[in-house]
Amino acid sequence: MKYSLTAGDATSIKTPCLVTSLKTARTLANQLGARDIFSRAIGDFKDKLENNLVVQLPGNVARLLVLGGADDTLSEESFRKLCTGAAKSAVAIPARQAVFHLEKIKVSRAKTAWKLQTAMTALSDEAYRYSKHKSSPGSAPDLRSVRFLVKSRSNAGKSVQLGNALDQGLKLARDLGNEPPNVCNPNYLLKEARKLRGPNVSVTNLDEKKMESLNMGAFLAVSKGSDTPGQMIIVHYKGGRKSDAPFSLVGKGITFDTGGISLKPPAAMDEMKFDMCGAAAVLGVAKAVIEAQLPINLVAIVAAAENMPSGRATRPADIVTTSSGKTVEILNTDAEGRLVLCDALTHAQTFKPQAIVDVATLTGACIIALGSHASALYSNDDGLAESLLEAGDSSGDRAWRMPLWDEYQTALRSNFADVANVGGREAGSVTAACFLKRFIDDGVKWAH
């Protein structure tokens, strides 16, 4: 999707579709000489949230997409629902271009920039299709570009720049997640990462030989069972001052997770291709940051490996040494994400970042704890945690902070190594985060 701005009066717009509230639509129809057509069309229309209506008109505005409930003062959550419904309706219309007129819609405590970003995210979500591997792909939406009608371009230009960048980042993340595991392996992720280009961008990698020289025994314990070697992928973006410490993002990239010797049950194992979605998210963020030319320095690290059973695979009870020097007793080879991440987190700290945020589909215990409506957030720094929580509330991708109390660390005791890679059944998502915390040096701001 391509987003842009247009300034001026709605009556001067030429478009296949104008998206607006009932009150504005009625005024516009009257000004365009289509009062009777509009009145007949809305005769049975209920002006309530999530009710939308398309009205065909003669002239420069071929259609009005009327958004129900848009003349009320909306909460942020109600506005998100309005935008989701508007996007679904707009994408279904056989038109390549549309104009969204949202500036007059009142949202409690929200500015125009937030409204535009929320609408753009909804449109990117609804317009996305993935049919790469179908012999007869379904038809893609006709809608290709959306203009936002505003009073002043200067107040909203940055929002559109960010919206276009985010659209590209979201598409990359979704495409990577949807690829089948016989295509998307660690080498494929490296190839896709190398497509991230720009004057301030460089991509490097640590192959297994290099990781072995850095004593990344935890990472290698996961990848050793696969015929496809693991890769640690590092994307450097230098958009800030040379003296600015970077932010670091670390993504779990298990391109397929059988569980290893601790084999998963067959049911729904096909979904384990999504175990690299932490990596997909990190690469998507890197893409968006690069496209938006944000004035920051970023180090994005992807820990990419395939967790397979074989004669070479790690066994339960094996002990490995991490690059931090700590030893880990691997009690369950299906708790592999924390093994690749602990070495990646140690490597991230060599860049002396302002903060580290790791993203992972780490354990199903998180879904047991929180369901599917919030992500769990763990952090050793209150300021970082609050920033991430506020960002989640603003974007609608909400998180809930969970405890990292030292009492939970006792579950990870090992009789034979410094730490076990799993605890008991209780608080499984908490003990997973507690495991990662052990690899964060004092004074380093970190969130999982």
pLDDT higher than threshold 90 for residue 157: no
Give the pLDDT mean for 146-158. 85
Sign of the C-alpha dihedral computed for residues 202, 392, 148 and 62 taken in this order: positive
The distance of Cα 365 from the centroid of its chain, to the nearest Å, equals 20
Give the pLDDT mean for 384-407. 97
Give percent of the chain with pLDDT exceeding 70: 100
Rg (CA), the chain: 25
- Per-residue confidence band for 139, with pLDDT thresholds at 50, 70 and 90: confident
- Per-residue confidence band for 109, with pLDDT thresholds at 50, 70 and 90: confident
Q: What is the pLDDT of residue 312?
A: 97
Q: What is the pLDDT of residue 155?
A: 67
Edge-first strand listing for the sheet containing 18-21: 2-7, 145-150, 97-100, 18-21, 63-67, 52-56
Report yes or no: 106 and 58 within 8 Å, Cβ to Cβ. no
Question: Would residue 435 be called left, alpha or beta, if left means φ above 0 and alpha means ψ between -120 and 50 degrees?
Answer: alpha
Catalytic residue among 88, 171, 194, 264: 264
Rounded to 5, what percent of the chain is helix, strand, coil?
40, 20, 40
Dihedral, CA of residue 328, residue 330, residue 331 and residue 332, to nearest 10: 140
- Per-residue confidence band for 290, with pLDDT thresholds at 50, 70 and 90: very high
Q: Mean pLDDT score of the chain, rounded to an integer?
A: 96
Edge-first strand listing for the sheet containing 297-307: 201-206, 231-238, 297-307, 247-257, 355-359, 446-447
Catalytic residue among 147, 174, 287, 338: 338
Angle among Cα 45, 118, 169 to the nearest 5 degrees reads: 130
* 245 vs 5: CA distance, rounded Å: 34
pLDDT higher than threshold 70 for residue 354: yes
* 317 vs 298: CA distance, rounded Å: 37
Q: State the greatest distance between any 2 C-alpha atoms of the chain, in Å, as a whole number.
A: 83
Least confident range from 155-164, 201-210, 281-290: namely 155-164
Q: What is the pLDDT of residue 103?
A: 87
241 included as an active-site residue: no
* 57 vs 17: CA distance, rounded Å: 10
- Give the containing element (helix H, strand E) for 292: helix 277-292
* 186 vs 206: CA distance, rounded Å: 11
* 295 vs 149: CA distance, rounded Å: 28
- What are φ and ψ of residue 153, in 5° steps? -65, -35
Report yes or no: 92 and 61 within 8 Å, Cβ to Cβ. no
161-203 pLDDT, tens digit each = 999 999 999 999 999 999 999 999 999 999 999 999 999 999 9
Which residues does residue 65 pair with via DSSP β-bridges, in sequence order? Answer: 19, 54
Strand runs (DSSP E) across 273-384, as ranges?
297-307, 318-321, 327-330, 355-359, 375-377
Q: What is the pLDDT of residue 89?
A: 97
Inter-CA distances, 130 with 133, 170, 205, Å: 8, 13, 28
pLDDT higher than threshold 70 for residue 3: yes
- Per-residue confidence band for 152, with pLDDT thresholds at 50, 70 and 90: confident
pLDDT higher than threshold 90 for residue 370: yes
Give the pLDDT mean for 411-423. 98
Local structure of 134: helix, strand or coil? coil
b/e sequence 157-193, b meaning 16+ C-beta within 10 Å = eebbebbbbbbbbbbbbbbbbbbebeebbbbbbbebb
264 included as an active-site residue: yes
Amino acid letter, residue 150: V
pLDDT higher than threshold 70 for residue 253: yes
